[in-house]
Amino acid sequence: MSIKVDIKNAMITGEEMSNIYTQIKLADEMLKNKSGAGNDFLGWLDYPDNYDKEEFDRLLDVVGNIQNDCEALVVIGIGGSYLGSKAIIDALNPFFVNELDGNQRKAPKIYFAGQNISGKYLKALYERVKGQNFMVNVISKSGTTTEPAIAFRVFKNLLEEKYGKEESKKRIFVTTDKARGALKSLADEEGYASFVIPDDVGGRYSVHTSVGLLPIGAAGFDIKAFMQGAKDQMDEINGDDSLDNPCYRYVAARNVLYRKAKDTEIMVNYEPEMTMLAEWWKQLFGESEGKEGKGIFPVSVNNSTDLHSLGQIVQEGKRNIFETVITVNNHEEDMIIPSDDNDLDGLNYIAGKGMNYVNTQAYMGTLLAHVDGNVPNIVLELEKLDAYNLGRLVYFFERACGISGYVLGVNPFNQPGVEAYKKNMFALLGKKGFEDLAKQLKGKM
């Protein structure tokens, strides 16, 4: 079930791949030896082997309680505390799952909050949830990040109004720092069940920790298989340091293309349930590589939808782009195209065929057209869209990102630029300690 990486349409020579190989191998050795920049944030690297088994068992018990005892779970987090779990849940859930009644759903409805500062969104979610039997999982290292902190305050108040303070304590699950921070202090004081965000795992690399596992498990998916997929992917990468290693091939191809002035990577999918996976991928690579004036800019398209909006610029626009396409071999569901006596739409030539077949031909036709338009294409092939294979894919991208960051010559585990907007926002909101900055900003407005 290995992830396959096809570069025959990537417009790269064997010599170019060979020339960069030594750098890739060295970068991966820096990861494994923990000798590179940011090495105090490498806990994710061997996490599929070294995760806390006792905490995992406790998490399974909590997941079972959530599934048995509530109708809806509100998951509160932003960035790496939100994108990974939503990506996996969206990829695995049936479409329109929250519209199914309780007998048809195998798990609670999952809602997300704290990922934006939209009053309209939070008010709508509040109104949707208040009449349901609900629980909350709040995810934050510090407990003071603005977006999730606001959302938690709102839903904590709602829980206490609805169930009373003591009962509410049984309905709040905290994922936070193991020893310090506002949220950890509150969890200890109130007696909330809590799980650990490891000190040495950054948010965007945290999907296999409790950050991702609790929501994914609560949504009804096999987190044991998810972890096994990650372990198998880790073992595969560690067991092959040649360019036959799919992870090495992906890193090599994208960095060769970057050095040929292809500085924008478009993640392409042909299934709408993969949309949020691309959003997680964009954070992973954008935050990890985008610094010191370097980095491949990560964007995404959802085809065939976006062929009708962005297809033109991809086909004939500026030639600084390449595409990475995710394909899935086996689909469990399909819709057969019916015949029509009048055939006014001219579709009888594909009547009787499944839409998955049509989608595959659209993918192949698009790839050939874009390659003819001088857009290199890397293809990542998954055997199946399930918890196991997504566990593999997440680890595959995390490892590729760490290696690629070192090849670029940056620290792939920090994000200093993220703080700039926060300081300005705090100053404009009137937060104590930012008075001087507020004066400077108001002078510019």
Examine the residue annotation and report whether 15 is marked as an active-site residue of this protein: no
Contacts within 8 Å (CB) and 24+ apart, 37-43:
37/406, 37/410, 37/411, 37/412, 37/413, 38/411, 38/412, 38/413, 38/414, 40/200, 41/200, 41/201, 41/202, 41/205, 41/413, 41/414, 42/200, 42/402, 42/413, 43/198, 43/199, 43/200, 43/201
Beta strands 377-384 and 4-6 are: antiparallel
Residue of 265, 279, 287, 323 with catalytic role: 287
Neighbouring CB atoms inside 10 A of 362's CB total 15
Examine the residue annotation and report whether 287 is marked as an active-site residue of this protein: yes
What DSSP string describes 100-139?
S-TTT-SS-EEEEESSS--HHHHHHHHHHHTTS-EEEEEE
Residue of 165, 384, 422, 439 with catalytic role: 422
Q: How far apart are the first and last CA of the chain?
A: 56
Backbone torsions φ then ψ of 346, nearest 5 degrees: 70, 25
Residue with token string 């698009």? 366
List the catalytic residues: 287, 422
